[in-house]
Every structure is written in C-alpha cells, then in structure tokens.
Amino acid sequence: MIQSLRKKLTLLFLGLFLLIYVLGGAAALGVFYHGLTLALDEELRDLSSEILPAIQLSTGKPSLKKWADAAEHEHLTSPAGIQLFDQKGELLEKYGLSGDGLKKGELKVQGDNHTISVKSNFEELREDGKHLGYLQVQIPTNSRDTAAQQFGLTMLLMLPILAVAVSFAGYFFSGLAIKPVEKSIKVLKTFVADAGHEFITPVTVVEASLQTLEEQLKEHNIGLDVLSMISRASQRMKDLASDLIFLAKLDNPDAQLPEEVISLDEVVDPAIEDVSELARGKSIALSCSSVPELPIYGHRHSLQVMLTNLLTNAIKYTETGGSVKLDAGQENNRIVISVEDSGIGIPADRLDSIFERFYRVDESRSRAQGGSGLGLAIVKAILERHKSEIEVQSTPGKGSKFIVRIPIAQVSVQAISKH
Ligand code: ADP
C-alpha cells in the first residue's frame, strides 16, 4: 500500500512537472518570439529612418538612385528589400528583395529561387505637404524564426532528461514525505494486532468458564438458551480477534508466512471439507469440478483460508436449497478458481466496496450470518501477497461468481511435496 502510494505521489509529481514545463515553456517561447519580433520592428524603423533622407523628392517623382549608386560603390549589401511606390501605389524602384505590392506585416515574397518570409513596413513620402509616394522596407524574418525553433527544440530535447531526473527526485522526496504516514500505519497495525491478542485471552477464559457453567446448568435445565447466546457472542468475538490478528500479519511485509510449492488440490480439498457441514445445514448443493494437479508457490494456510472465506460467503449469502459450485482450471500460465453461487447477489455499485474492511452490503444480514465484514478484506490481502487477482461478477437476485487467478509455480508437478 505504502509503495503504491509512493508511486502515485511520484507520478503526480511528474505530471505536475510536465504540466508546468509545457505551459511555462510555451509561455517562455511566446515571450522570446515576441521580443525578437519587437527587435525586427525596431530594425525596420531604423532602416527606414536611415534611407528616408537619401530619397530625392525634388523632381516630384521619388527616387533612390543616388543612394543605390553610393551603396553599390561602397559595396554595401543589405539582406533587406527596399521599394519606392508612387502615390497610386505603382512600383517605381526596387532594390534587394522584390516586394509584392504595398503591404504591412508578415508576408512571403519571392526570393532568387525560393519564397522568403519577411516583415514589411511602409511610410508615406511627403514634400511641402504633398503626397509623393511611399517607401517600403522589408527584412527577412528567418533569423527570428530559426532562433525560436532552436529554443523550442532545446526545450523538447531537455524534456526526457528532466523528466527522468524529476521522476528520481519525486520518488526520493515522496519516500521522505510518506515516512511519517508509514510510521503511523505501522503503529496502527501493531495496535490492532496487539488488541486482537489481548482480546483472545479473556475470550478463551470466558469460553472455558462457559463449558463448566453449561455442565452445571444442564443438571438443573435452566438458563441454557442464555448460555448459548453468550457462547455465540464469545465465538464471534474470538473470530473477529483472530481475523484482525491474521489481517495485521498479512499487512506486515516482515511477517513470516513460509511459502512452499503446493498442489492446487491441497488448497481446494480442505476448503471444501471446511464448509461442507455449513452447506449441509442449509441444504445447499455444494459441488466441485475435478481439480487439476497444478503447482502454486505460496503460503498453504493463507490460500486455504482465502478459498474457505469465498465458499463460506457463497453459502452464507445463498438461500436454503440453493447451489454453490467450485471450478478450477488453467488459463495460460495462471490457475483459475471460480466460486459461483445462486444466492442474493451484489448490486453493481457495491462491487468495488466489498473488499474494504468492515464493509457489508446489508449490515444486519451479515451480522445475523455471523459475519465480521473482514472475510473479503482477508481474501484480497492474501491474493496480493501471492501476486494474484480477484474478479467478481454478480446479478442481484440471481447469484455471484468470484474468480481468482493465481500464477502457476514454475516447477514440475513431481516437485510438489504432498502433505
Ligand atoms: P461478511 O463477514 O459480512 O460476510 P465479507 O468481507 O466476507 O464480510 O463480505 C463483505 C460483504 O460482501 C458481505 O457483507 C456481503 O454483503 C457481500 N458478499 C460477499 N460475498 C457474497 C456473496 N457470495 N453473495 C452476496 N454477497 C456477498
């Protein structure tokens, strides 16, 4: 449980990091791109204000010839495109990149042999208040686009490295964070196990005293019904205490539950034997298919308890005269055991809860049947210890089917030591 909590926290940490990284990265890229675009605008303005004084306007028709000759003479090359238009927007002169009419903003223009993305701006040319035309300046945006692409690519390449580092850090820190929780759970489990042990001793004394009292009362034939009531109550207390102790043991990873290779029939047969009296008492037809000799590596007693609990429930929650059937077989590399009854069934919305401790679908019915609400919690804990799974199919009023899947031990059947 603690390990899965630690993994969940690590995944949460990683998820949060990825979210922040992606959102933060996108915002950073946006800011970076915007900054570069502002720099381009500034460059455009500088270029315009550099060229404007060199335009000859005296002839009434704007010209940049003198400026162009001087630039050529001084071997000044500019990656920009400069165009002069008359007041109607007709192109008069062009230098560098060829523009595509009078346009502002980002556009694509034809270069020598491919299209180029440029940022374009134009300004009106006036002399003595008379509108003579326009000066348009365009500069390529490829340096900005390449820088933004590189920025994005670097962020993308950093992502897997950072994700791995964050996962390790998350796993480490979640380990630190859950240490106090782990400690509290350990204290609680020890408390439950200790309380269970403390219960067992006085209940055993009560049981022994009841036996003596029963013999004395039998002679006088008085109070026997009260005595049997006390006896049933003390038995329930003893069962509850034993279940709590067993559950605490299953929860404790350090608790010794010696494992061995067991044959499937060694688990099934004693469980059937355990519940046959209960089934007879309720006239329930208890049947069991032939059990294949398949090996399981596990704790013999726990596996028997697991099956006994499922069979006991099947009988408890089936009306008199009903049926309970156990099937065992193989599915790929797993043993499949199913316990099917023709009982009261479980509502679909309760199926997830029945494995919780002290959960009962119908509390009074469970108590009347002597249930402690721990049977299925024990089944689940045993199966988790054996890396096995359980599935429930149920139809209220028709019956339930509990299907258990246990890995087959990787040994030959001959290696199974029968007890
Ligand atoms: P309990 O001691 O109450 O039987 P369990 O943990 O064994 O506790 O089972 C939890 C609840 O699941 C039961 O109270 C019962 O409502 C339901 N349940 C378990 N097995 C069956 C079954 N075979 N048919 C119907 N209900 C069942």
- Report which ligand 1 atom has the smallest distance to the Cα of 375: 7
The position carrying tokens 């042990």 is: 197
Residue 76 pLDDT > 70: no
Residue minimizing CA distance to atom 3 of ligand 1: 373
**Confidence (pTM):** 0.65
- Report which ligand 1 atom has the smallest distance to the Cα of 378: 6
Is the beta carbon of 376 within 6 A of some atom in ligand 1?
Answer: yes
Please state, in angstroms and rounded to a whole number, the distance separating the CA atoms of residues 264 and 337: 10
Q: Three-state DSSP class for 276?
A: helix
Please state, in angstroms and rounded to a whole number, the distance separating the CA atoms of residues 351 and 373: 14
CA of 309 to the centre of ligand 1 (A): 9
Please state, in angstroms and rounded to a whole number, the distance separating the CA atoms of residues 276 and 283: 10
The rounded percent of the chain whose pLDDT value lies above 90 is: 55
Calculate mean pLDDT across residues 262-277: 95
Is the beta carbon of 373 within 6 A of some atom in ligand 1?
Answer: yes
Is the beta carbon of 366 within 6 A of some atom in ligand 1?
Answer: yes
CA of 268 to the centre of ligand 1 (A): 20
Please state, in angstroms and rounded to a whole number, the distance separating the CA atoms of residues 352 and 333: 26
Calculate mean pLDDT across residues 252-264: 88
**CB crowding 300-318: b at 16 or more within 10 Å, else e:** bebbbbbbbbbbbbbbbbb
CA angle (279 as vertex; 275, 285 as ends), nearest 5? 120
Burial class (CB in 10 A: 0-12, 13-18, 19+), 241: buried
3-state helix, strand, coil in the chain (%, to 5): 55, 20, 25
Looking at residue 28, its amino acid is: A
pLDDT the model gives residue 411: 77
Please state, in angstroms and rounded to a whole number, the distance separating the CA atoms of residues 167 and 408: 34
Is the beta carbon of 371 within 6 A of some atom in ligand 1?
Answer: yes
